[in-house]
Amino acid sequence: MIVRIAYHPSAPQRLFHETTADEIGYGGELGGGKTKALTMDVMLAALKYPGSTTYVFRATYQQGEDTLLEEMERSYPKELANYIKQNTTWNWINGSKTKMRQCNSLADAKKNDGKEFNKLYVDEVQHLPFDAFDYLCTRPRANKALGMQPQVKFTAMEGGKGHAWLKRTYIDKLDPNIPKLTVVKDEKTGEEYEIFRQFIPASLEDNKHIDDNYAGRLNMRSSRIRKKARSNNWQSVDGAAFPEWKNQPIDPKTKKPTDKWTHVIEPFPIPAHWPIIRGYDHGRAKPYSVLWFAQSDEMYNNRLFLIDELYGGTDDEEGLDETVSQIAVKIARKEKPLVEKHEYIEGIADPAIFGKNYFDDETVASVFATAVYDENGAMIRPPIDFRDPRSDPEVAYNVVNNRMQGIELFHEALMFDASGIPGLQAFSTCKKFIQHIPELVKDEKNPDDVASVGTADHDYDACRLVVKVKRPMAFKPVEAPKKYKPDPLDMARKDDYGEDARYGTVLRIPDIIVG
């Protein structure tokens, strides 16, 4: 029997079919042929390896039916396969099976325990949290007699709850189209293995089968939709929780450090009289975050500067499984030079650390607050104190877990005044914080809140607690300067900085920042 299939893959689609990498992503723009590429690759694998079993996932069954299943029914000849709706499985003429499944959480992923995927396919993987996708990737394997290379293949575009981990793992670390080798070592046997990852960008221009006016219709949409539909750079996050975040510590015109119109600045010496505040979000299985802030005086607009950080998590956003005492030692080590210079550090944390939900007889806060001495009575580790909401009315009022109030104050802290100065800025050395804040997305069920599932929100939570107590925000924007007639005799009064007083008070960049 000869069956002819009218499929002429684009260059990116062909690469997606022919690559021998172990993990392959494909996607980018709307209309780039992602679903068609995945659909046809499923068929090619099923027909090439008789008796094989492939699994195809989408976040929900409804999404799978509305996109994948419709494309499969259009693309698969009835002579080669038939779809059994009761068990959502394609049965192929040669005994192969393709099973359609959903996965929207780690719990969904774990429903596949014990199952063997000869190949794993995930369509629109950006809708999956990292832990769910990571778990699914443990399933692909095959008996050597099958002669089949188990692979993970997925399609994706920017945005969604998976944007951050996709960008970190497959966009930032890989060159487009080129497989990258990673040598991994088995922790049990010591044996080394070569694993290749690859990401293949696809654009609308690559898809010669779509109607000619599709690009035109996309360009009629709003700027937000247009940017998402036609973007392949992954630098913007659709649905970002804090789109106002700016990372531009170097002025593009002068090429010099600046603190204007940016939330990231170059480090500078902190004056000894500025208060230091420690923000803390506890975690063990999940990451913990410790952030140190300096609160400036009126000369520098009472800004809150993030000056240092300690992040207790892996690159995959897993916790370090450290005890409170271990965390306290790390905090004390970090704080030693700050204490020597500023004497006192104010601690603000989630009120949960004062509850006994972690221990039977003592709290996380009490473990932190207990100094450790050696056998000779010398202090090994000083106490790490936090303000107790049970006896501190200000903290009790401000640090209650009112997330709506917290996100609103966080937005206000990021606002710029008329001179380009915000209420909150971070030193460029605080790499994790700078990475995590722009990656945060809005909660799908409550767009006014930050998504907490599948996102690295621990830095945000630690910062939010401090922001709620300290209330940093930009000064009220000043009016734009009016036009005046020239003053050839230089008769206008000047203020102490030599600025024309007619233009109001000038908010200046501190010399210690630009110097």
Q: Residue 323 has what pLDDT?
A: 92
Contacts of residue 178, defined as CB under 8 A and 6 or more positions apart, other chains included, come to 198
In Å, the largest CA–CA distance within the chain is: 98
Q: Please give the distance of CA 473 from its chain centroid, rounded to a whole number.
A: 25
Q: Residue 234 has what pLDDT?
A: 67
Q: In what helix (H) or strand (E) does residue 58 lie, and over which residues does it extend?
A: strand 53-58
Reference 359, options 396, 400, 323, 313; nearest CA is 323
Give every residue of the chain whose pLDDT is below 70, as ranges. Answer: 1, 29-31, 205-238, 357-361, 399-401, 454, 474-515
Q: Residue 217 has what pLDDT?
A: 58
CB 423 within 8 A of CB 473: yes
CB 492 within 8 A of CB 501: yes
> In the numeric block, which tokens belong to residue 445?
């069920």
Q: Residue 317 has what pLDDT?
A: 83
CA-CA-CA-CA torsion sign (212, 214, 220, 226):
negative
Q: Residue 487 has what pLDDT?
A: 37
Read off the amino acid at residue 136: L
Read off the amino acid at residue 205: E
Q: How far apart are CA 142 and CA 305, in angstroms?
A: 53
Q: Residue 166 has what pLDDT?
A: 87
Contacts of residue 30, defined as CB under 8 A and 6 or more positions apart, other chains included, come to 157, 204, 218, 228, 229, 230
Strands of 264-265's sheet in order across: 264-265, 424-427, 304-312, 288-295, 276-281, 345-349
Contacts of residue 157, defined as CB under 8 A and 6 or more positions apart, other chains included, come to 27, 28, 29, 30, 34, 124, 126, 228
**Angstrom distances, CA of residue 273 to CA of 287, 296, 297, 421:** 32, 9, 9, 22
Tokens 């693309």 correspond to what residue?
Answer: 75
Q: Residue 454 has what pLDDT?
A: 66
Q: Residue 485 has what pLDDT?
A: 42
Reference 41, options 11, 15, 73, 70; nearest CA is 15
Torsion angle defined by CA atoms of residues 41, 45, 48 and 52, in that order, rounded to the nearest 10 degrees: -160
Q: Phi/psi zone of residue 494: left (φ > 0), alpha (ψ -120 to 50 degrees), beta?
A: beta
Q: How far apart are CA 142 and CA 95, in angstroms?
A: 16
Q: How far apart are CA 429 and CA 172, in angstroms?
A: 19
Q: Residue 228 has what pLDDT?
A: 54
Q: Residue 499 has what pLDDT?
A: 38
> In the numeric block, which tokens belong to residue 307?
């000056």
Which residue(s) pair with 422 in the sheet? 416
